A and B are shown apart, each in its own frame.
Chain A
């Protein structure tokens, strides 16, 4: 299908500090370029920031997950304390890592995209994780957002700041339509049906070439300025890393909030048993459409930002099955139905893919899908709950180490401490969809 996505991170890197050159790299012809950072294969250090960034909130479990509200409430006093350290750490990583990496644009770009893809997996997770409505159609919203703001800007001179909300509104409308058609369907049927919409959108984008630029893609004008959401060369990547970090943080906090809200409970009820939810007064159609719309709006926002970041979009990528799969995969690998999971998944998978691409430049275009497939199988077989399932044992271990440390110092842990800790360690249950 397309080569662009796989080479994006590396291709930026191909013309490191000179953003003007990077523009030319965005030329479709140059997209097939693969990375050639010799050091790339070695270091996995950079992306570790993303998991860190997300970790603080792994503490405590969501009411909407399988854990019980009272238990987490009971764990709250202790939980607050122990959550403070990772929270601070995560925030520091979010703010500090991009700055640290400024000298190496290759890693900075990976980091920025980890934030973006984490946010997108998080948005997907709202409807497919919390509500259990499995969508493989989210590229439709990503692409719609990207095209809406870019077309308005490139063809009509409308600032992306206005194009973004327009794209989001269109995506919500599209989500309502897709939702009414597909949300009644169960599991795999819904997934299959949503795929169709992505293909349909791609066909439309290719067909209306006067508007969209057709299959060659659409170039977004390069006119630096905050009003155009385009940044001048010198600190461009750093700024975008922060923009995507903010997006990631926003999605993450929204999901955390959602988990503890009535809507979060309703989503969980929907996921567990739709008929029972309805019989208990949950307006299941409204809840489904709300979560789908919210998810679509966030995905659309990500698409618009991505277009401004790349200054070039092509239908074969922004409206591809591959992208749709990627949203789902990152969330599933990290842990579906939890706020932090999608970021863990993106933080692990995206750097892994990008680095292996740059280490082995000869990899065929289908390589990503192969890795996605294998990773999905491994995840489903061995980590049905995703990486977040590793959280509780790690926390228990940390507590154990802490306790032995204290014991050596001759202090005993307070009685409540361990009890609450064990409760909290139950961990939120993700639902596995495979």
Chain B
């Protein structure tokens, strides 16, 4: 469904994404993980057209969408959320979502109906009339999700929708994501909250310093030497024998990732 074909993104001298190739099949719920600054968000930016890649192509359902403006790819059904939420601050939550819904609905009335439905779906129905700028972080993440859902995407790239949330909110968000996936939306999830990624995703891709270093099932990823190395640094990985039987190491990888979560929530706040 989504094909990322040898994509490189250069910022001056910095290669934020290096020659990454990745495919996501229809119906996938895939994870994209990696340490801070690995290039995850940049990859999303390239896929959704916020950035034009220095090299490589992006294909969505067989169509070359490389460098398409975001408003065009969203019409094909390729949508994304922003890591740092970007609400329309002075508009109500409802109007925020209405703007998303207008992507599919010509009439404002119908867009409003659709928007109310999406707000209900993420549990914000009772705050439809509140102004978006006063919303706490957890609810802003939900709003971000409701807004993009209103565009009726067929593939959704979610950039840390759990970042900075409390345990209960994370659980709630996980449930919402499963439900969206259950409705037939293919999903790619950037997330630092490892337990959630591990339980939600069927397949996980790991990037580090802009390079794709592993793709596989959650089990594979837990055991992958390069992944552990990426999260824990050279010394620990050097000691690790690699291959199988590194249950302890995978444990530590998960913990390291959990620490990364805290770090990323700090940046968001």
Contacts and interface: CB of A to CB of B under 8 A. Distances in A.
Contacts of A64: 95
Interface string A330-361: 00000000000000000000000000000000
B151 A280 contact: yes
Interface string A267-309: 0110011011111111111000000000000000000000000
B128 A276 contact: no
Interface residues of B, number: 36
Contacts of B25: none
A283 B69 contact: yes
A268 B98 CA distance: 12
Contacts of A278: 69-71
B131 A260 contact: no
Nearest to A423: B129
Interface stretch (B74-82, B237-245, B252-260): B74-82
A53 interface: no
B95 A276 contact: no
B94 A68 contact: yes
Contact of B71 (A68, A262, A283): A283
Contact of A279 (B50, B93, B95, B106): B50
A287 to B, nearest CB: 10
A269 B70 contact: no
B229 to A, nearest CB: 34
Interface in B219-249: none
B120 interface: no
A276 B112 contact: no
B99 A429 contact: no
A282 B103 CA distance: 7
A266 B99 contact: yes
Contacts, number: 108
B86 A276 contact: yes
B95 A71 contact: no
A70 interface: yes
Interface in A50-93: 63-71
Contacts of B31: none
Interface in A227-270: 260-262, 265-266, 268-269
A279 B80 contact: yes
B91 interface: yes
B65 interface: no
B95 A69 contact: yes
B91 A272 contact: yes
Given A70-B129, A279-B48, A279-B50, A268 B71 contact: no
A277 to B, nearest CB: 7
A281 B102 contact: yes
B100 interface: yes
B70 A69 contact: no
A66 B147 contact: no
> Dominant SS at the B interface?
mixed
Contact of A265 (B80, B87, B99, B150): B99
A424 to B, nearest CB: 12
B102 A272 contact: no
Contacts of A66: 90-92, 131
Nearest to A66: B90
A135 interface: no
Contacts of B151: 280-281
B37 interface: no
Contacts of B94: 68-70
Interface in B89-136: 89-95, 98-100, 102-103, 106, 108, 111-112, 128-129, 131
Best-surrounded residue of B75, B91, B129, B151 (most CB of chain A within 10 A): B91
A1 B167 CA distance: 66
A280 B103 contact: yes
A431 interface: yes
A279 B158 CA distance: 13
B148 interface: yes
Given A266-B102, A268-B91, A282 B71 contact: yes
B92 A277 contact: no
Contacts of B108: 63, 69, 260-262, 265
A76 B71 CA distance: 33
Interface string B126-161: 001101000000000000000110110000000000
Given A261-B108, A265-B108, A268-B95, A280 B89 contact: no
Nearest to B144: A276
Contact of B102 (A69, A265, A285): A265
Nearest to A285: B69
6 contacts: A66-B131, A69-B94, A69-B95, A277-B99, A279-B48, A281-B100
Given A70-B92, A265-B102, A275-B82, 18 more contacts: A63-B108, A66-B91, A69-B98, A70-B112, A70-B128, A260-B108, A262-B102, A265-B95, A272-B89, A275-B86, A277-B88, A279-B71, A279-B148, A280-B103, A281-B100, A282-B102, A284-B71, A431-B90
Q: Across chains A and B, which 10 residue pairs bring their CB atoms closest together, nearest first?
A: A68-B92, A281-B103, A272-B88, A66-B90, A276-B86, A281-B74, A68-B129, A280-B100, A269-B99, A278-B70
Interface of A: 63-71, 260-262, 265-266, 268-269, 272-273, 275-285, 423, 429, 431
